[in-house]
Amino acid sequence: MAAVTHDGLAIQYASDELKGDKWIIVAASAQNGLAIQYPSDEMKGDRHIVLAAVTQDVRALQYASDELKGDKDFISAAVTHNRWALEYASDKLKHDEDIKLAASLQDV
């Protein structure tokens, strides 16, 4: 825990067991959103963890599960935070008028 709160990317060196620990992943992602690329697939599908990571660094969305990238509510929340989240959404949602409108209303 101490290592990931200092440097979230330290999670890449953790055991698989620790990469599956929700609280360690939350701490790592809060410090560096890109830490979301290293945990278990289950963590990459957890909407709360991924949204926290995306809030820290929008590029974290590229590591989210395909299910989340295709979830309209999740992508809507992500683009409300940062319009560039649309870049990582599923192809279908990239063309969704509601999502595009929400993204266009955001300042970066």
pLDDT tens digits, one per residue of 54-97:
999 999 999 999 999 999 999 999 999 899 999 999 999 999 99
Residue 107: pLDDT band with limits 50, 70, 90? low
Alpha carbon distances (Å) from 15 to 10, 12, 21, 49 = 11, 8, 10, 19
Residue 7: pLDDT band with limits 50, 70, 90? very high
Domain that holds residue 77: 2-104
| pTM for the model | 0.85
Calpha distance 108→87 (Å, rounded): 14
Tally of domains in the chain: 1
CB-based contact 72:48 (threshold 8 Å): no
